[in-house]
Amino acid sequence: MKEINTRKAKHVPKIKLKTQHRHSQGQAKVNIAADKTVKKGVVTTEKPKPVVNAEAVEQEKPQVRYITVDIEDAGQRIDNFLLRTLKGVPKSHLYRLMRKGEIRVNKKRIKPVYKLALNDEIRVAPIRISEQKDNVSTGLAVVANLEKQILFEDDRLIIINKPSGMAVHGGSGLSFGLIEALRALRPEARMLELVHRLDRDTSGCLVVAKKRSALRHLHEQFRDKHVQKFYHALVKGHWPDKLTRVTAALKKNDLKSGERVVIVDNQNGKESETRFKVLERFRGATLVRAFPVTGRTHQIRVHCQTSGHSIAMDAKYGHEDFDMQMKSKGLKRLFLHAASIEFTHPLTEQRIKIEAPLEASLESLLSKLVKE
């Protein structure tokens, strides 16, 4: 061992350090600071520089991707397909790659509107994809509870009893919605896409497709009005038995705050129709069944309001006094529930009907009302 002395600096006493004369490969060397800026008794060491693995860096480089189109993806536009497949790549960037010929189908240039055919081979030039993994934890109570709300599931569909207060998808300040939570619960599912939507405060039957073919099949049924959705709503006052059909045209208005409100506008609004049936009468309220023939935004809620019978606890279209009465009895949410949905199964071609029970809070409210 060899003793190494530091040079004596002003106001710094001599210190003695012992170290090995020889340094093995990769071992940090001791530097003895000797100028006036060094604090008393401080010794610094150099950290070894990290070894860069050239082979690992090479593997991290983006590679050419080849995708063969199967029956599930055939028929859709290539831009929509790539937006779903290459998550994390901006739409504008994909369009630019197609214009430059960096994305080709069967070795040929294509336009974004090109519709994929079975066995098409898509070549995607090397592109770095910053995939955003779902950060939804399956340990969250609200996510874990969704497993108990599944009403029907097979290899093509999931039908779930959506809780009130949960948006169908993330956005507008929400970190995640129902579809993101389902993807976390079913990580092995190749795709999960909403077939239709429900308002955030509406509960009940919501259909999610597991296959592209099932999504197309059900969208066709919705367009052809072959899907029947029935809602239960508790409305203000005595709903007349003769009031079985409301056809007020609806128009969407976006306020400066960004909030969307729907109004009745029979000149400029879109044609809308909801059919109603009285299920049960209570003192000051009526439980009705609503069947939306068309599917406009907030349709049932506005059609109830314009008929003079607003839905209980409707923050946008409700009646203040009625809402206060229902709140005093324990109601904390909009009383609108997608009670059932009926459609043709995309594989078996058989008609199926799925029903979603009312949540306990709604059942509790009904039990407190006085029947007429």
DSSP string, 123-136: EE------------
Biggest CA–CA distance in the chain, Å, is 106
- Beta strand 336-344 with 228-236 is antiparallel
The residue annotated as part of the active site, out of 73, 79, 199, 323, is 199
Strand partners for 349: none
101: left (phi over 0), alpha (psi -120 to 50) or beta: left
Which residue intervals of the chain are DSSP H helices? 54-60, 78-85, 91-99, 141-148, 178-185, 212-223, 299-306, 320-328, 360-368
Tally helices (H) and strands (E) across the chain. 9, 20
Annotated catalytic residue 35: no
Phi, psi of 18 (to 5 degrees): -115, 140
Show the tokens assigned to 46. Answer: 């150099």
SS (H, E, C) 141-185: HHHHHHHHCEEEECCCEEEEEECCCCCCCCECCECCCHHHHHHHH
- 7 neighbors 34 (Cβ within 8 angstroms): yes
Identify the helix (H) or strand (E) that includes residue 193. Answer: strand 193-194
Which whole-number Å values give the CA distances from 303 to 23, 46, 275, 345, in the listed order? 85, 74, 10, 30
Which residues are identified as catalytic?
A: 199
